[in-house]
Amino acid sequence: MASGTALIYDEEMTSHKLLWNDPICDIEVPERLSTSYEQLQFYHLVERCVHVPAREGTEEEILLVHSSEHLEVAKSTQKMGEEELKRVSGNYDAFFFHPNTYRCARLAVGATLQLVDSVMLGKVCNGMALVRPPGHHSQRNAANGFCLFNNVAIAAEYAKLKYGLQRILIVDWDVHHGQGTQYIFEEDPSVLYFSWHRYEHQEFWPSLKESDYDAVGLGKGKGFNINLPWNKVGMGNSDYLAAFFHVLLPVAFEFDPELVLVSSGYDSGIGDPEGQMNATPEVFAHLTHFLMQLANGKLCVILEGGYHLKSLSESVCMTVKTLLRDPIPQVTGEMAPCLSAIESIQNVRAAHKPYWKWLMYEDTSFLHNLSTKSHLPKTTNTNPSTDHEDKITNNSEAVKIERFLELHMRNILFPVPPIRTATSESKASSYLLPAPVCVVKEMDKNEVKSLASDFYADLVKEDKTLHSLGSMLAILDKILKKEVCNGIADSPTASVSVDVALRYSVHFGFQRVLCIFVGDMQIIPNTEDGKVLVINVCEKEQSGKIGSKYFISLNWKEDADRSDFFSAVLGFILPVAYSYQPNLIVIAVGPNRSIGISGISLLFGLLQGLAESRILAVIEDTDVNLMQSVAKALAGASVPHVGAYVPLTQEKVCKIKILKDQLQQEWKMLQCSVKDGI
């Protein structure tokens, strides 16, 4: 299987620049590219990537998306003087030509296609292309919004043609609506386009009716265009995560793409003068990580916007670090989406209900009609203010955010453990781990006894128990001391091992431990209430703890299949886990699982975004396949393709829905509809 991350950068793309005064276009500067690349060098990320050279996109490739008229106009600008360039630029909404623009735009297309080729040919698993000019506003016959050729759209057509792909997902997290991309694929069911964007009830540029949530695609393409309009500025980390949990990810897993392309604009990040949003760089690590779970990890990230140089470059670094499978930093801020975000999410879910089983199966009939559209936008075209006073305030604001980010990133970046996964001596060889493994010697029996007896006096009599506790504790110890990221321990008595692990972690000083039980297990009631959150996916009724905020039981019955389990992971476990923000995750897998191996792999994969990727797996089931899959997931291998995750039964989806409604006041990331006026 492919490994490695491609990075594509060509300094020549910094030669495209604005030659005259234009307050709308003057933010799209060459330094956007050079600063991002320098920051990657600063973090030593460049040398860890596979360098792939850019090339010029061919005319034929450009014509996959654009008209020959458009190509000819672009070509003709190469020999123009400044006055003529200015005149041609004036024909478009927010674009500028430089004599080298055509060459740069062809390099941007070619760089994007080089990235697609590297991933599709298995030379790398994923990668990022740093390109200028950007692409997503560009249309068949027009430049628009700093974009000349639509790099990502061309890449999608190219991948369909060259590799025969039938399902491509484009995720556009730029803060502007990629209307160009929408127009190109509107009627095409083979390309699923998702975009969130600052909208403010159509007041924000490009101020189009068709950027709203009810533009779902046309003809055969109905359901394959997903717009999530933000009607307020200031959206932050939790709003973006909620959009992924409740809109993008369920649909994306049902769509089951063969390749994922990201229109990766960072103007949706904090400090950006265009976006005015609040999301901090580390959220892009989480977004990237989620997308890495699709299409067997085949992920191509292509730069679009991003105009606050510090915010942009830190966010680029977060993205590349994540592509390289570094541990993911904890996301900061209160984990609760705002009301306006929930409204938008609810609207787009309702609009797409006819097209996706995920949304269909949830009965939303009780919801009120929540159209929040304004009827008359105040202006037809909103541009950044050119008011002098405004500029001054914006500048000092930008400097403030630069300082904030400087401090913020110092707290965010932590040393990368050179070794990812720890395991015990006896099992190490059978896991066939793809990454360096730390083989841990089990703890001395007397040490275990003295440790465990602090809080667990009577259980340490049995030799078998003592033995498995010894290796589990040795592994856990390495995780707690940050010598390794995660670990896998097998135990014939998982419930005892987990109980000791939980107590030991809390004893060590961990304030929030998330513990998930899968399969048949007796859960030993925990006394560290509040410091441990238990989610039980076992079918056995567990008594005693019901009613506590920190014990959630799904009571999954036997007929659950992998798709149904998946609906629980995505629609419930993930949002609760993000609400809780654990510093450690313990996942216990017992026997008689009604849940398939692929579902369990996915659970491990998705949860690795939390607790700085600190996960301890305790496995009672001795199935070698299960052990191997968990070990692989922990080592960072991509989830093997198992087909679309389509929920099979309405019953299970409804069950999750009811739980969501019950618990969304406690665990706010569950919120995806406005009910009873939150």
Catalytic residue positions, numbered:
137
Q: For residue 251, state whether it binds ligand X5A (rule: CB under 6 A).
A: no
The residues, ordered by sequence, that sit 6+ positions from 218 with a Cβ below 8 Å of its Cβ are 186, 187
- Report the residue number, 137 or 289, with the smaller CB distance to ligand X5A: 137
- Lay out the site mask for Zn ion across 170-199 (x = CB under 5 A, - = otherwise): ----x-x-----------------------
Closest-approach residue to ligand X5A (CB): 305
Please identify, among the stretches 48-56, 107-115, 144-152, 370-378, the one whose residues bind ligand X5A according to the rule CB under 6 A: 144-152
Which sign, positive or negative, has the C-alpha torsion 476, 478, 480, 485? negative
How many angstroms separate the CA atoms of 145 and 66, rounded?
A: 16
Angstrom CA distances, 503 to 248, 326, 418, stand at 37, 28, 27
Is the CB of 312 or the CB of 618 nearer to Zn ion? 312
- Smallest separation (angstroms) from ligand X5A to the CB of 592: 52
CB nearer ligand X5A, residue 223 or residue 281: 281
Which of positions 341-400 make contact with ligand X5A (CB under 6 A)?
Answer: 383
Nearer to ligand X5A, 205 or 290 (CB): 205
Q: How many CB atoms lie within 10 A of CB 541?
A: 9
In a 10 Å sphere around its CB, with 0-12 CB exposed, 13-18 middle and 19+ buried, how is residue 564 labelled?
buried
Q: Point out which span in 105-113, 139-147, 396-404, 600-608 binds ligand X5A (CB under 6 A).
A: 139-147
305 touches Zn ion by CB under 5 A: yes
If binding is defined by CB under 6 A, does position 180 make contact with ligand X5A?
A: no
Closest CA to 228 of 122, 379, 343: 343
SS3 label, residue 644: coil
Out of 6, 13, 18, 24, the residue judged to bind ligand X5A by CB under 6 A = 24
Shortest approach of ligand X5A to residue 358 CB, angstroms? 30
Stretch binding ligand X5A (CB under 6 A), from 39-47, 140-148, 278-286, 337-345: 140-148
Tokens of 458: 């009577």
Min dist. Cβ of residue 208 to ligand X5A (A): 13
Q: Which of residues 254-293 bind ligand X5A (CB under 6 A)?
A: 265, 267
Binder of ligand X5A out of 196, 204, 205, 645 (CB under 6 A): 205
What is the SS3 assignment for 504? helix
Residue for token digits 């787009």?
348
Site string for ligand X5A, 89-128 (x = CB under 6 A): -----x----------------------------------
- Report in angstroms the alpha-carbon separations of 87 from 84, 98, 116, 667: 5, 12, 35, 55
Q: How far apart are CA 98 and CA 131, in angstroms?
A: 16
Q: How far is the CB of 139 from Zn ion (least distance, A)?
A: 15
The helix or strand, by DSSP H or E, that contains position 605, with its residue range, turns out to be helix 597-607
Q: Could you write out the three-class secondary structure of 213-247? A: CCCCCCHHHCCCEEEEEECCCCCCHHHHHHHHHHH
Give the residue with the Cβ less far from ligand X5A, 254 or 272.
272
24 binds, among Zn ion, ligand X5A, none (CB under 5 to 8 A by kind): ligand X5A
Query: How many Å apart are CA 244 and CA 241, to the nearest integer?
Result: 5
The Cα 272–Cα 61 span in angstroms is 33
- Residues making contact with Zn ion (CB under 5 A): 174, 176, 265, 267, 305
Residues that bind ligand X5A (CB under 6 A): 24, 94, 134, 137, 145-147, 174, 176, 205, 265, 267, 304-305, 383
